[in-house]
Structure 1
Amino acid sequence: MSSTEQYTVGWICALQAEYLAARAFLEKRHDPPEELSPNDNNHYTLGAIRGHQVVIAVLPDGEYGTSSAACVARDMLHSFPNIRFGLMVGIGGGAPTKQDIRLGDIVVSSPQRGHGGLLQYDFGKEIQDHEFHQTGFLNQPPTILRTAVSGLQVQYEEEGHQLKESIQTVLEGNKRLRRKYAQPPVESDRLYDSQYTHLQDSQSDCAKICDSSKLIRRPQRDEDEDNPAIHYGLIASGNRLMKNAMFRDKLAAEQDILCFEMEAAGLMNHFPCLVIRGVCDYADSHKNKEWQGYAAMMAAAYAKDLLRQIVPQRVSHERKAIEAIRGQLKDVSKNIDKIHDITSGSAMEIKSMAQTIDLKELPVAEGAEFGTYMDQHEEECLQGTREELLYDINEWAVSPESKCIFWLNGLAGTGKSTISRTVAKSFKKQGFLVYLPLLHK
């Protein structure tokens, strides 16, 4: 049995195929852990790669998305408290809009355009005739991983990679895996025009039912080109399965997105990690599972090469991932305490304390009272309506006898958001600094 104290690298997979690929590339396999945190429901495989002590976990069967990934990472850190960083390794949908991305290629999250390597595409706002605007930001991978990526990138450019050979070695050692995890025929890599969709409700192979005249013709890669290729840039993550080539191309063109996936956004702000994706489809309606096994193998083979770039002794000097999370929680706690100090007094005291805050020193406060509604075409209360309620709210704001919270509740669609926008605009004119959270059930 293995002690959980010795493991410093966390490796998370979403699918069983990804989990198998990760296990296949361990250089040594260890016994199961001696004990786990009481509420830890994860399944683990323990092992080593070039002296790194690695723990691999997989999401529960049938569960996908950012929340499930976050739960797996949380439980892993509770059971393996000495983990320094993580790898999110698996498959994704390629966005061949600006780069020549093909099935079996690899996409590695890399900071670009002010992003940390990942963009959460279902956490933002899309306005007609405007580009997608992200309203939340995700952390970048830790320095030790970004440095390893740079080193491996140079090595591959100088020597080429041997990822195909690595996969072949694994498959030769286990013939059972060949049918599902070997490279499919090159002719099965089909990229269709973005406006051409797969026949609705049809599970048939595209080669049998789709119009071949809608295929995008691409030349074979030259001998001096890496094949598969490795791409470095932004990965889009969200809870929605991307099967829309038009939206894929739009977001890829605006944000330089290279790949779409469904889990990593749940990790980046709570689990310092790098995202590695093997391209198994083109995030369009022509999805199939033919390339999933091979793409998972490609991603795992790259992850192994990456770990071999890092000196194991160096990892022990990194901050523990659980400590990084605790540090974030302490910062949040301090901010909550500050808010409590302000809101614990009467309304007059609150107003007095708020007036001591120089809004010019808070550049992020500009426009913040409208939140994600700032650029949307949504109305405030019509003139002559809600007058009594709006009067009560304004009286509450200026009365020294008021309680510190005005609680507005109601069923969905009854106008809470409309009232809040109206109040925010009114308070702005009066110079009030306010916080108007909208809580949805």
Structure 2
Amino acid sequence: MSNPNDYTILWMCALTAEYVAAQTFLDEEHPKPAAGTISISDTNAYTLGSISGHKVVLAVLPKGEYGVGSAASVITNILRSFANIRIGLMIGIGGGAPTKANDIRLGDVVVSSPKDGHGGVYHYDLGKESQDMGFKQTGFLDQPPTVVRTAVSALESKHIRKGNHIVENIEDALERNPRLKRKGYACPAPESDRLYKADVVHPISEESCDAFCGTKPNKLIARQPRDDEDDNPAIHYGLIASGNKVIKDAILRDKLAQEQGVLCFEMEAAGIMNRFPCLVVRGICDYSDSHKNKAWQGYAAMTAAAYTKELLMEIPSEGLEHEGRLAVAIERRE
């Protein structure tokens, strides 16, 4: 059986699709911990395994629970059960905020990037009305450990020179897990990636965008297809907004993208980062507008997981014991 004290990396997921994608990229899956080595009060679900010599704990939030509060509530049990965790990662899907400066498309990856003294994640509070919004920086210990930030820089440099291997790694993973192709984890048809103009609003109904919003050019923002010299999916580094509600408003999305430099939106990272510092990686599954659907969620989860596996390959598997234990960060916070 596995010894919980051997594991040094925590990979957090909020949704089942994210958890499935994470499991797919393990080099090896390990047995469950021996009976009695984890507190009976710990009701979290875990998968244990290894990636590039690292022993990794995959954890998922309870079914039907997501958001800042839910993410924060599971952390204490995790770090009691796996007391030697040194690195925290929050990996999953998010809504993109494309602009002229940032050509973000479905399936792309956004990585939280420290800037101006913060760790790349802002916390927002969205009121009853979309514009009733307080936008504030997350607080405590907001930067990931140096070893993680160094690995991010090294991987970014490698990708600039050689390109990323996300597509190839996903294809290999799907070959090993062919069921997932039929479960929505393969790349959808490129023509289904449509960015509507901000004033084109989908009604509150179950009617599809194809049926109601249509595909006429006057409703869409024109974008050139990516060619062989472009990274596809592309990886973007910058600000991720994390808050209490899903953003479904293209006008608000564009406002925050222009004024704050937000690249994507999600709902769990602030709850984690208020407890301990972590890196946040998001695969883009929609455009944070009214035209939401689930067609790209599985593939976006795979692109985020594939990037994370490449990142862990940049972190030396030896020497993590010199990094501070995340459980200590919580004790200091409390």
- TM-score, structure 2 as length reference: 0.93
Correspondence for 1:149:
152
Q: Is 2:203 the partner of 1:199?
A: yes
What SS class does the counterpart of residue 271 from structure 1 fall into? coil
- Matched pairs, number: 326
CA-to-aligned-CA distance 1:61-108 (integer Å, 9 cap, x gap): 100101111122221101100000111000000000241000000000
Q: Does the residue aligned with 1:312 lie in a helix, a strand or coil?
A: coil
CA contact (8 A) 1:141 1:268 kept: no
Query: What is the rounded CA distance, in whole Å, between the counterparts of 1:114 and 1:316 in structure 2?
Result: 26
Cα 1:10–1:136 shift into 2, 3 Å: closer
1:122 is displaced (CA, Å) by: 1.1
Taking a change above 3 Å as real, the CA distance of residues 232 and 136 of structure 1, as seen in their structure-2 partners, is closer
Distance 2:113 2:138 in 1: 17
What is the aligned partner in structure 2 of residue 167 from structure 1? 170
Q: Which amino acid aligns with 2:41?
A: N
Is 1:118 equivalent to 2:107 in the alignment? no
Once the 2 structures are TM-superposed, how far is the Cα of residue 37 of structure 1 from its aligned partner? Answer: 2.0
| 1:242-321 correspondence to structure 2 within 5 Å | 242-321=247-326
Tell whether the 8 Å contact from 1:181 to 1:293 is kept in structure 2 after alignment. yes
By how many angstroms is 1:19 displaced?
0.2
- Indicate which of 184, 201, 204 corresponds to 2:188: 184
Are residues 61 and 133 of structure 1, via their aligned partners in 2, closer, same or farther at CA, if it must alter by over 3 Å?
Answer: closer
Supply the distance in 1 between the matched residues of 2:318 and 2:39 (Cα, whole angstroms).
26
Instruction: List runs of 5+ in structure 1 lacking aligned partners.
Output: 330-441
Gaps of 5+ in 2: none
Does the 8 Å contact 1:132/1:254 carry over to 2? no
* Secondary structure in 2 matching 1:164: helix
Cα separation, 2, equivalents of 1:268 and 1:220 = 36
Residue 158 of structure 1: aligned partner? 161
What displacement does 1:38 show? Answer: 2.9
Q: Give the aligned partner of residue 78 of structure 2.
A: 76
Distance 1:249 1:71, change over 3 A: same
SS for the counterpart of 1:10 is: strand
Corresponding residue for residue 53 of structure 2: 51
**Distance between the aligned counterparts of 2:173 and 2:243, measured in 1?**
32
Amino acid at match of 2:6: Q
2:221 pairs, out of 216, 231, 244, with 216
Letter in 2 for 1:89: I
TM-superposition CA deviations, 1:136-181 (whole Å, max 9, x none)? 5351222111111000001111111111010001111121100210
Report the secondary structure of 2:179's partner residue. helix
Using a 3 Å threshold, how does the CA distance of structure 1 residues 27 and 136 change in structure 2: closer, same or farther?
closer
Is 1:88 aligned with 2:90?
yes
Partner Cα separation in structure 2 for residue 113 and residue 217 of structure 1: 33
**2:170, 2:137 → 1: CA distance?**
40
Answer whether contact 1:109 1:276 (CA < 8 A) is retained.
Answer: yes
* 1: CA distance, partners of 2:117 / 2:52: 33
Cα displacement string for residues 233-273 of structure 1 (whole angstroms, at most 9, x for unaligned residues): 00000120111111111111111000000100001131221
SS at match of 2:66: coil
Corresponding letter in the other structure for 1:206? C
SS, match of residue 26 in structure 1: coil
Offset of 1:313 from its aligned partner? 1.0
- What is the CA RMSD across the aligned residues, in angstroms? 1.9
From 66, 69, 93, give the equivalent of 2:68: 66
- 1:18 matched to 2:9: no
Matching of residue 39 in structure 1 with residue 41 in structure 2? yes
Report if the CA contact (8 A) 2:283-2:304 is conserved: yes
SS at match of 2:38: coil
Q: Percent identity?
A: 57
| Alpha carbons 2:124, 2:135 under 8 Å: kept | no
Query: 1:60/1:209 Cα in 2 relative to 1: closer, same or farther (>3 Å)?
Result: same
Structure 1: which amino acid aligns with 2:307? Y
Q: Counterpart in 2 of 1:406?
A: none
Q: Higher strand proportion, which one?
A: 2
**Which residue of the partner structure matches residue 233 of structure 1?**
238
Secondary structure in structure 1 of the residue aligned to 2:148: helix
Instruction: Pick the structure with more helix per residue.
Output: 1
Aligned partner of 1:333 in structure 2 is none
| Letter of the structure 2 residue corresponding to residue 86 of structure 1 | G
CA distance in 2, matches of 1:290, 1:68: 25
